[in-house]
Amino acid sequence: MSNALVKTDFHFPGQKSVYHGKVRDVYNIDDDLLVMVATDRISAFDVILPEGIPYKGQVLNQIAAKFLDATADILPNWKVATPDPMVTVGLKCEPFKVEMVVRGYLTGHAWREYRDGKRTLCGVPMPDGMRENEKFAQPIITPTTKADAGHDEDISKEEIIARGIVSREDYEQLEKYTLALYRRGAEMAASKGLILVDTKYEFGKKDGRIILIDEIHTPDSSRYFYADGYEERLAKGEEQRQLSKEFVRQWLIANGFQGKEGQKVPEMTPEYCNSVADRYIELYEHIVGEPFVKADLTDLAARIERNVTDFLRSR
C-alpha cells in the first residue's frame, strides 16, 4: 500500500550501518547515535505480513516517546529527539544481553507454565491456588536471554550472574529500575482505566551508566487489560478484554493462518489494512489519553529523510 512505509533505504549523514528488524529499521550514526525508524510493517506468528498498516509506526513511536519522557526521572534513557512522527534518535549503548520481563498478573506464558504444574518461573516461586489472570501479591521479574538468533529463553537471576551475562551489582540495579518503571506504567495505565498486565524492558550501558533503551509500554511490548469488568471476568473464569494486537492474530487464525509451513497469509485488502489502522489509533488514544493527530502520508520516505537529515546536521 502506497500510504504505508514497509521498507527503508536511507543514507543519513554519518551513517555507518543499518539493521532491519521485524518492525524497526535502526541506522547507526558515527557509532554515537541510533536513528530508529518505526515502520508500518506488522508481524504475527514470527512472520512479517505482506502489507503495511498506515499510521502503525507513528502510533508505536509516539507511545514509546511519551513513556520514555514520563519515566526519565527514574533513570536516564536513550532518547535524544523525535525529529519525525515515525523516528526516535537516541544514544547508541552497549545493550545488556537480557530482557527484563515483569509480570503483575498470572497470564500468557506464565499461566501456561503454571497450568502445566510448574510453581517456579525463572527461579521465582509462584504460590499454589492461583487462577488465570489473577494478580500476583507483588510483581515478579522473569528475565529472558536476548538471543542473537532464534527465540529468547527463560533464565534465572542466579544463572545470569553465574554465567557472567550481567554482574550481580548491575543486575540488582536493573531489578530496581524494572520494578520502578512497571509501577509508573501501572499507575499511568490505571488513570486511563487500564491494567498494565506485563511488559518488558531493555537496558544498556553508556559511559558506565545504565540507560533504558528501545521502546516501552507499547502494545507491541506490553499487555493491557481493561480495568472495567476485570474482577467479574476473573470470578467467572472468563477471558479478559485485552488492549493489544491480538485481534490481528485472531483474524489470521480465523482465515487459516498460524505461521505454519504451507499456510498462506490471507489477502490483506486496503479496507482490512485501514480497519487495523483504526484499531491502532484506538489503542493510542486509550493508552495515551489524547487524540491521535495523523501525520501527512504524502511521500513518507522523503519526509523522514528530510526531517532526520535536518536534525543530524543541526547538532
User: pTM for the complete prediction?
Assistant: 0.92
CB 79 within 8 A of CB 297: no
Residues 118 and 62 in one domain: no
Find the mean pLDDT for residues 80-108: 97
Under the banding of pLDDT at 50, 70 and 90, the label for residue 30 is very high
Per-residue pLDDT of 215-237, as tens digits, reads 999 988 899 999 999 999 999 99
Question: CATH no. for residue 258?
Answer: 3.30.200.20
Residues 116 and 84 in one domain: no
Domain count, the chain: 2
Residue 233, domain extent:
95-243
Under the banding of pLDDT at 50, 70 and 90, the label for residue 148 is low
Looking at 222, 243, 264, the residue that finishes a domain is: 243
Residues 117 and 234 in one domain: yes
Q: Is residue 311 part of a domain?
A: no
Question: CATH no. for residue 131?
Answer: 3.30.470.20
* For residue 147, pLDDT beyond 80: no
Find the mean pLDDT for residues 83-92: 98
Residues 147 and 194 in one domain: yes
Q: How far is CA 49 from CA 40, 41, 248, 266, in A?
A: 10, 7, 11, 10
pLDDT at 1 (0 to 100): 45
pLDDT at 312 (0 to 100): 98
